[in-house]
Every structure is written in structure tokens, then in C-alpha cells.
Chain A
Amino acid sequence: MGKLLELVIAASLVNNFVFTRYLGLCIFFGVSKKMDTAIGMSVTFISVMVISSSMSWVAYHFVMEPYHLEFLKILVFIVVIAGFVQAADTMMRKVAPGLYYKLGIYLALITTNCIILAVPLINADSGYSFMESIVFGLGSGLGFALALIIMASIREKLEVADVPKPFRGLPIAFVLTGLIALAFIGFSGLITL
């Protein structure tokens, strides 16, 4: 149990995907403009992450390893995740249409999002067990949600700030992310796995 808790903290804070592994930046900059979209995205992201990491674990250990197909892992993981996201997309359209219209395009983008694909790849490379894979997915999702929400709260203030013209939009967002990443260096060494 202790090991699993450590894994959550390590994946969400110490090795935060956005600030130390630099993944998922497109979505990170895309949906962090408003708080409510950021929160909706975070919820979607965490659930997709947990479910897709468990599904790809099953695919990896029960299909690919017995038949020595590890070299196909990129293709297989993409198909597994894309199929699942498509199902989630259809369900969300029925259950929560309001949220769907806000996040529709990003939900479609989730399929080929780097973090979503990176989690199963890392799971496979580090040989995590089933529970560890799920927990790692959960931790990564939480870390991404944390990053999104921090960024969204800053960017809402940024809307009224007087930014030099060449820096409006993405450049200033990058510099901001750099500052947050500096703060996240403080977490390094908290846990060494």
C-alpha cells in the first residue's frame, strides 16, 4: 500500500508530466484558458488515463507478451485507446451534452494525446504490475489536472494584464509555465523510486 501511495505522489508531483516530462503541452495550453473547461478536461483526463492504462496492461500482458509482439506496442496501444475514447465520446454526448459541446474537440484530440499514450508505454517499459499501472495512471492524471488548474487560474488573471504585444498568447504562457516548473523543482528528491 505504501508503495502505491508513493507511486501516486511520484507520478503527480515529483515527475509531473507537464512540468518535468513536458508532455501533453498542446492540450495543456489549449484548455487552460478558463477554469470550468480546465476542470471538465481534468475529470475526463483522469478517467481516460486510469481506464486506458488498465486496458493496455491487459493487452500487453495477455496478448503481446505471449506472442512476442512487444515491438508493435505503439500501434496496439493507439488502437486500444482510440477505441475506448470513441466509446467514451459517444457516452458523454448522451449523458452530458453541455460538457460535450465545450470539450468535444479536445476529447477527440485525447486519442492521439501524448500523455495518454505515454502512460501505457512507461508502464510497459518499467514492468509495472496491474495495480501499479492503474495507480501510475491515476497519479499522472492527478498531476495533469493539478497543472491544468494552476495554469487556468493564472491565465484568467492574465487576460487583463498588459503583456507586451509580441508575447501575447502562447509565448507568455510558456514563460509562465517555466516559472511554475521552477516551483515544481522543489518537489524533486521528495521520493526516489
Chain B
Amino acid sequence: MSTAGKTSYVGLLKNGIFGENPVFRIALSLCPSVAVTNTLKGGLLMGIGVLCVQTLANVSVSIVRNFVHQRIRLPAYILIIGMWVTAINLLLEAYAYSLYKQIGLYLQLIVAFAIILSRAELFASKNKVMPSLFDGLGMGMGFLLALLTISFFRELLGSGSLFGYSIVQTKPVLLFVLPAGGFFAVGLLMGFFNWIDMRFFGGHGASGASH
């Protein structure tokens, strides 16, 4: 799927956002899509964290791809990712402390995201630096957009506000800020995207069907 050696950079970006959207299409790294999305702020911070780590990890893996021996490549990639995650965490802890307190655990766990390691292994370890950079940007942006979509609905329905400013005055549906609501929201959105895909693009509703 990622043999797109010669496609344009825009194509790589698009692939990450639509074609292989990490959350809705390949269904990897699902934990944060439920965990931090009860507010838009949380979703945004998490998305930015993943975007940075994915891009930086892709670039660094691509740079060292010719020096790392085949046998030890996975541990090496994990250490590279861990390094960037630590760096981003220290940065966010310094500049967005109050928010970091709430979702810090999930930010630290970016290191365990299947999506980042799988892009490093499937794409960055086989491609030059520039395509890897754009693949990372695309994947990260796809992730960010997915988190924003989910958290938009959850904050709007669950607390009647966006970014903490109240928008709707009616009684909110408390369910959507609760843990359970996150699962409902992701399930329904996934089903919805599958439906669009089948109805208008003739897809097979493949989202996560392999899991």
C-alpha cells in the first residue's frame, strides 16, 4: 500500500488524511481517539503531539535507514520514537502545564502508538527523507483531523460548548463526555464514514474489518 515512491507530495498528504486515515480507515491507535476527545482542546493538543512525533520520527528513521542493521531495526525505531516523545512531552509540560496534567499519560503513551511505528517501518525505512517528511505530515494531519472531528461532536453534544466557550444553552447529553460516549461516538462516526464510502465511492466498508 505504501509503494508510492514517485507520487507527488500532495498525493502523500492526501493519502494520510483520506485514503489511509489512521483512525477511521486503518483503525490503528484507537486509544487516544476515545481517551482525550471529550474536549476539543484535549483532542487538539494530542493531535499536535502525534503530528510532531510522526513527522520527526519519519524523518529521523529515513535519515538513519541505511545505517541500521535489518535485525535491530525495530528496537532502534522504537528508541528514536521514544526520544521524540520524551522531547515533545518535556516541551508541552513546560508550555501547557494545566492541560498536560489532564492528558499527560496519553501523551507519554504516544510512544506505544502502532501507527507511528508502522509508518516508520512501512514507509520511512524504504523512502528518502522528503517523501517521508510528507508522509509523516499527512498521517499526522489525518490523525489530528480525526481527533478534532470526534472531539468536536463530543464536546458540542456532551457539554454544549466548543473550546470551553458555551454555544448551546439547552441541557447537554452528559453521556458524550463520559467514557462510554467516546466509544459510541467513534463507533457511529466510523459506521458513518463506511456508509459514505459504500454509498458514494463504491468502497467495501473496509474500515477495520480486518480486525
Contacts and interface: CB of A to CB of B under 8 A. Distances in A.
Interface string A26-43: 100110000000000000
A154 interface: no
A23 B35 contact: yes
B15 interface: no
Contacts of A82: 75, 78
Contacts of A30: 211
A181 B183 contact: yes
Contacts of B180: 19, 178-179, 181-182, 185
Contacts of B188: 171, 175
B86 A72 contact: yes
B76 to A, nearest CB: 12
Given A24-B31, A25-B31, A175 B184 contact: yes
A26 B29 contact: yes
Chain A binding surface, main DSSP class: helix
A112 B194 CA distance: 29
A172 B179 CA distance: 16
Secondary structure call for the B interface: helix
Contacts of A174: 183-184, 186-187, 190
A125 B106 CA distance: 13
Contacts of B178: 181-182, 185
Question: Residue among A79, A117, A169, A173 with the most chain B CB within 10 A?
Answer: A169
Q: How large is the interface on B (under 10, 10 to 19, 20 to 34, 35 or more residues)?
A: 35 or more
Nearest to B175: A182
Given A78-B82, A185-B178, A114 B183 contact: no
B57 interface: no
Interface in B78-105: 78-79, 82-83, 85-86, 89-90, 105
A177 interface: yes
A121 B108 contact: yes
Given A26-B28, A74-B86, A121-B105, A172 B187 contact: yes
- Name the 9 nearest CB pairs between A and B, nearest first: A174-B187, A170-B208, A178-B183, A181-B180, A166-B195, A171-B191, A166-B194, A175-B187, A169-B209
25 contacts: A21-B35, A22-B179, A23-B35, A29-B208, A71-B90, A74-B108, A74-B111, A75-B82, A75-B86, A78-B78, A78-B79, A79-B79, A111-B78, A113-B112, A117-B109, A118-B109, A121-B109, A122-B105, A165-B194, A165-B198, A170-B209, A170-B211, A172-B191, A174-B183, A185-B179
